[in-house]
Amino acid sequence: MANVYDFTVKDRKGNDVSLSEYAGKVLLIVNTATGCGFTPHYTPLEEMYKDLKDKGLEILDFPCNQFANQAPGSEDEIHEFCTLKFGADFPQFKKIKVNGEEADPLYAYLATEKPFEGFGKGIKNGALKKFSDMNNKEFGDKAYIKWNFTKFLIDREGNVVARFEPTTDMKEVRKAVEDLLG
């Protein structure tokens, strides 16, 4: 695969969507969960989307239930929760797996392009690492994503340019997006 535009994913209704439809846009691809301590990331994500969509930003939301069973609902239940609680208006796709033998090929590609480099320093980050390591033990070398709300930044040519762990301050994520938008 040459870049992100070579992948096809499923929308929340199960229809194929070629990511080439987003060619020329800056993408922020996020694996999400509705019952996670990082779920409040939906608020700055939606603010960023509203502020920067007209400049070429698209946020692509991929719910995932592989981290402590924190996204157990159906696609419709997840969408309703995100819309009602956070006003999320960016595209939401079918729930996927991001780790293991059944990992969505897009996520295996993203994580290969920008591998995990750690959660950062501090007590919270250390605790998350310990919990993540326990949770992801079953996936071995296919534990591509360490936790919910991992974000991948994609340039207008479809190249993966940055990875942000859920512990990264959302202001830092926004700055990187704004810098890429120009």
How do residues 13-46 score in pLDDT, each as one tens digit? 999 999 999 999 999 999 999 989 899 999 999 9
Longest Cα–Cα distance of the chain, Å, equals 42
Per-residue pLDDT tens over the stretch 84-102: 788 889 999 999 999 999 9
Q: Could you give the domains of the chain?
A: 4-181 (3.40.30.10)
Phi, psi of 72 (to 5 degrees): -80, -15
Condensed to tens digits (0 to 9), the pLDDT of residues 66-79 reads 998 899 888 888 88
Distance of CA 119 to the CA centre of its chain: 15
Three-class DSSP category at 115: coil
Catalytic residue IDs:
36
CA-to-CA distance for 73 and 67, rounded, in angstroms?
A: 14
